[in-house]
Structure 1
Amino acid sequence: MTGFSADWLALREPFDLAARAESAATLDLRGMAGRMRHDARPLDVLDLACGTGANLRALAPSLGGAQRWLLVDHDPRLLAALPGAFAAWAHAQDLILRTDDQRLHVEGLDWNAEVRWQRADLASALDAVPFAGAQLVTAAALLDLVSASWLDALFDRVCKANAAAFFALSVDGRVSWDPVVEEDEAVDRLFAAHQRRDKGFGAALGGKAPAAAAARLAAEGCRVTLSDSDWRIEEMRMLQAMIDGVGSAALEQAPSAHALVQAWQVKRRALAPRSCLRVGHTDLLMLPA
C-alpha cells in the first residue's frame, strides 16, 4: 500500500474538515448512529487505513453518545503517532483524554470514545481485520486507492457484519483551477491516469470509486447516500504541495511529458497567490438492507 507521511496527513486535515462540513447537511450521521446502536451499548466503529486518526477526530463528535473505535493501519509510524495526535486535539478542543499503553479514552460534551488500534495490511490480510461485531465501518480517502475486486471483498465483509458504512473524501475525478492555464487539461489527464495505477490493492478505481461503490452496495439492497465533499484550496502551502504532487505524479505517469509538466508548474507557481483549486470528493453513507 502506498504510504502517506504524517506531515501530509496533518497538512490536508483542515481541508478535509472543511470538505466534510459541505456534505454534513445531507448526511444524518447522528441518526445513523442511533439506528445502529443496540441495547444502549456503545457504537462499535471499525476505522480502516486510519493514519493518525483524523477520521475519528472528524466523526466522533458528529456520531454522539458512547463509542468504541478500533483503528487499523499498516504503517507502524502512523500508529505510533496516534497518542500525540490525540493529545494535541484534545488540548485544542478542551476534551478530556485518558491514556494507557494500548488504548485512549476521549470525552466530549455529549460523546465519549474508547480508542484501540491494530496494525494490519489491508491489501493482503483483510481477513486479519475483525469486521464481526462492527456496527459502523468507516474510512477516509481510501476507496479511490483500491481495485474493484478489493472493494468487492471489503463490502462482502461489511454486509456479512450487517454494519453501516461511511466512506469519506473519495476522489471523484472533478478538478478545476482558477485561473485556467493552457496545460491544465493535459496535466490533469496524466494525474488521473496515475491515480488508476496499482497502489497495492490492484489497479485503482481512482475517480470512478464513489460511483462503483454506490452501485455495488445498491445491488445488495443497501440504502446509499452520496454527497459532495470538495476541497477548496486557496492557502499557499497547500497549493504548492498540490502543484508539486500533481506534477510529480504526471511525470511518473509520462516521463516524456517533462517539458509540458515543467511549463505547467512554472505557470501555476506564478499564479498561486491568486489561484483557487477545487478537487472533487464524494462522501458515501450506507445503511444495511
Structure 2
Amino acid sequence: MTGFSADWLALREPFDRSARAASAAAFDLPALALRLRRGDPVLGVLDLACGTGANLRALAPRLGGVQRWLLVDHDPLLLAALPGALAAWAEAEGFLFRREAEGLGIEGPGWRAEVQPLRIDLVQDLAALPLAQVGLVTASALLDLVSADWLDDLLARACHAGQALLFALTVDGRLDWTPRVTGDDRLARLFAAHQRRDKGFGAALGGAAVDLAADRLRALGCELKLAPSDWVIDGREGAQAQAMLAAMLAGIAAAVRAQDPGAAALATDWEARRLRLLARTRLRVGHRELLATLR
C-alpha cells in the first residue's frame, strides 16, 4: 500500500475537518451509536488505515458515550506517531489523556474512548481484522485507493458480521480550479488515470469508488446515506491554505509525469504557472461520505 507521511496527514487534517463538518448534518451519529450498541454500554469501532488517528478525532466526540477503538494500520512509523498526535489533540481540546497498559485512554464531555493500535497489513491479511469485536467499521480517505475485489471482500465480511460502515473523504474525481489556466483539463484526466493505478490493493478505484461501494452495499441489503464532503482550499485565506495548494500542485504534477512521461514538460510548466497564482487560487476537490447500515 502506498505510504503517507505524518507531515502530509497533518497538513490535510484541517481541510478534512472542514469538509466533514459540512456533511455532519447528514448523519445522526449519536443515534447510530445507540443503535449499534444494542444494549452494550461500550461501542466498538474499527478504524482501517488509521494513520495518526484523524478519523477518531473527527468521530469520537460526535458518537458520544463509551467507545473502544481498534486503530489499524500497516505502517509502524504512523502507529508510533499515533500516541503523540492524540495526546496533542487532547491537550488542545481540554480532554483527559492517559497511557494504559494495553493502549490509550481519552475522555471528553459526554464521551470516553479506549484506544488500541493494531498493526495489520490490510492488503495481505484482511481476515485478521477483529470484526466480531466492533459494531462500526470506518475508514477515511481509503476507498479510492483499493481495488474492486478488495472492496468486495471487505464489504462482504463486514456485512456478514453485522457491522455498520462509515467511509469518509473518498475522492469522487472532481477538481475545480479558480482561476483556470491552460492545461487544467488535460492534467486532470492524467491525474485521474494515475489515481486508478495499483496502490498495493490491485487496480485502484479512484473517483469511481463511492458509486461502486454504494452499488455493492445495496446488493448486500444495506441502507445508505451519502453526503458531499469537499475540500475547499482558498489561497486567499493565508499560509496554511497556500501550503496545501502547493502540496496538491506538486502531487498532481508528479502523478502526471509518472502517468505520461510525454506530458512532463506540460506538468512542470503548469505547476510553475499555478504557483505564481497561489495567493488567489481556489481549489475544490470533490469527496463524499458514505454510511451503510443493515436493514
- TM-score higher than 0.5: yes
SS at 1:200 equivalent: coil
- Matching residue of 1:258: 264
- Matching residue of 2:141: 141
SS at 1:176 equivalent: strand
Q: TM-score, normalised by structure 2?
A: 0.97
Q: Is residue 262 of structure 2 the alignment partner of residue 267 of structure 1? A: no
- Matching residue of 1:237: 243
Q: CA deviation at 1:78?
A: 0.4
SS at 1:25 equivalent: helix
* AA aligned opposite 2:71: L
What's the CA shift string for 1:248-288, capped at 9, x where partnerless? 01111111111211121111101111000000000001111
Ranges in structure 2 where 5+ consecutive residues have no aligned partner: 235-240
SS at 2:22 equivalent: helix
What's the CA shift string for 1:213-242, capped at 9, x where partnerless? 011001111001110000001211001000
Q: CA deviation at 1:66?
A: 0.6
Confirm or deny: 8 A CA contact 2:145 2:204 kept in the other structure.
yes
CA–CA distance in structure 1, aligned partners of residues 208 and 32 of structure 2:
26
Q: CA deviation at 1:133?
A: 2.7
CA–CA distance in structure 2, aligned partners of residues 276 and 179 of structure 1:
7
SS at 1:132 equivalent: helix
SS at 2:131 equivalent: coil
Confirm or deny: 8 A CA contact 1:233 1:239 kept in the other structure.
yes
Confirm or deny: 8 A CA contact 2:233 2:245 kept in the other structure.
yes
Q: Which moved more, 1:99-108 or 1:225-234?
A: 99-108
Confirm or deny: 8 A CA contact 2:242 2:278 kept in the other structure.
yes
- Matching residue of 2:283: 277
Aligned length: 289
* AA aligned opposite 2:24: A
- Matching residue of 1:92: 92
Confirm or deny: 8 A CA contact 1:32 1:287 kept in the other structure.
no
CA–CA distance in structure 1, aligned partners of residues 126 and 204 of structure 2:
17
- Matching residue of 1:186: 186
CA–CA distance in structure 1, aligned partners of residues 19 and 210 of structure 2:
16
Q: CA deviation at 1:198?
A: 0.3
CA–CA distance in structure 2, aligned partners of residues 26 and 132 of structure 1:
27
* AA aligned opposite 2:193: A
Residue correspondence of structure 1 range 25-44 to structure 2 within 5 A: 25-44=25-44
Q: CA deviation at 1:132?
A: 1.4
Residue correspondence of structure 1 range 1-40 to structure 2 within 5 A: 1-40=1-40
CA–CA distance in structure 2, aligned partners of residues 30 and 39 of structure 1:
14
Q: Which moved more, 1:70-79 or 1:27-36?
A: 27-36
Residue correspondence of structure 1 range 65-144 to structure 2 within 5 A: 65-144=65-144
CA–CA distance in structure 2, aligned partners of residues 15 and 74 of structure 1:
24
What's the CA shift string for 1:58-105, capped at 9, x where partnerless? 000010111000000000010011110011001000000111243111
- Matching residue of 2:47: 47
1:288 pairs with one of 282, 287, 294: 294
* AA aligned opposite 1:266: A
Q: TM-score, normalised by structure 1?
A: 0.99
Identity fraction in percent:
59
Q: CA deviation at 1:40?
A: 3.7
CA–CA distance in structure 2, aligned partners of residues 94 and 133 of structure 1:
29
The ranges of structure 1 where at least 4 consecutive aligned residues each deviate by more than 3 angstroms after the TM superposition are: none
SS at 2:132 equivalent: coil
- Matching residue of 1:58: 58
CA–CA distance in structure 1, aligned partners of residues 5 and 101 of structure 2:
23
What's the CA shift string for 1:119-168, capped at 9, x where partnerless? 01101110111111310000000000000000000001111110111000
Q: CA deviation at 1:27?
A: 1.4
Cα 1:240–1:20 change in 2 (3 A) is: same
Q: Which moved more, 1:239-248 or 1:101-110?
A: 101-110
Confirm or deny: 8 A CA contact 1:136 1:163 kept in the other structure.
yes
Confirm or deny: 8 A CA contact 2:143 2:205 kept in the other structure.
yes
Confirm or deny: 8 A CA contact 2:156 2:220 kept in the other structure.
no
